[in-house]
Chain A
Amino acid sequence: GQSLEQPSEVTAVEGAIVQINCTYQTSGFYGLSWYQQHDGGAPTFLSYNALDGLEETGRFSSFLSRSDSYGYLLLQELQMKDSASYFCAIDRGSTLGRLYFGRGTQLTVWP
């Protein structure tokens, strides 16, 4: 089976940097995705790592270590609008289709 662990809540102030960790166990692994979901909204894709290392997309970066079954999402220059839930999700390969989501981390950004 698959399991993912991430912190349930993180708080930070505007302008700060925050890191959301994700550890996983899975019988098959192709990559790790990150999604953002605002209250009442749909999950939206943020980032993806198939290989070890850091992927940078603007203020957001994501890191993966396949040997440690670990990844993180790094959010820089936090803004109030970044307050949302962030989910890591295991991708077992595009031919299999489904994503396995963690329980999510609720990020609250204070002014």
Chain B
Amino acid sequence: DTGVSQDPRHKITKRGQNVTFRCDPISEHNRLYWYRQTLGQGPEFLTYFQNEAQLEKSRLLSDRFSAERPKGSFSTLEIQRTEQGDSAMYLCASSTITSSYNEQFFGPGTRLTVL
């Protein structure tokens, strides 16, 4: 399978704990995005990498959120001191710079529940 993969698919944690999610993009894609989606809403942009460089970060991303993409391959999203409001589906997407219309390929998401 050469699609975008995310791990874990589900995460339940207690408030105040740290969590880390992983995304493996399509191998030849140099762009990687993180979005957050809550029930009844569209995906909300969190951050964006081109290769290993983090080029854009949403104001939604508080200091408790950090993302990395070492070596321009997989990416991790860490949430520190989780809050109940962090409960959401975290989606990763990738695309290639050569695409003429920025088609983004989404992974299955990591559903986070903060108790």
User: Which residues on A are within 8 Å of B, measured CB to CB?
Assistant: 30-31, 33, 41-45, 48, 50, 87, 89, 91, 94, 96-104
Contacts and interface: CB of A to CB of B under 8 A. Distances in A.
B102 A94 contact: yes
Contact of A97 (B4, B40, B56, B109): B56
Interface in B11-30: none
B106 A104 contact: no
B33 interface: yes
A63 B43 CA distance: 22
Contacts of B31: 97
**Interface SS majority for chain B:** loop
A58 to B, nearest CB: 16
Which of A33, A94, A96 lies at the interface centre, i.e. has the most chain B CB atoms within 10 A of its CB? A94
8 contacts: A42-B107, A96-B56, A97-B31, A98-B45, A99-B33, A99-B43, A101-B44, A103-B42
Given A42-B106, A87-B42, A98 B48 contact: yes
A97 B99 CA distance: 11
B101 A104 contact: no
B40 A48 contact: no
B2 interface: no
Contact of B101 (A41, A91, A97, A103): A91
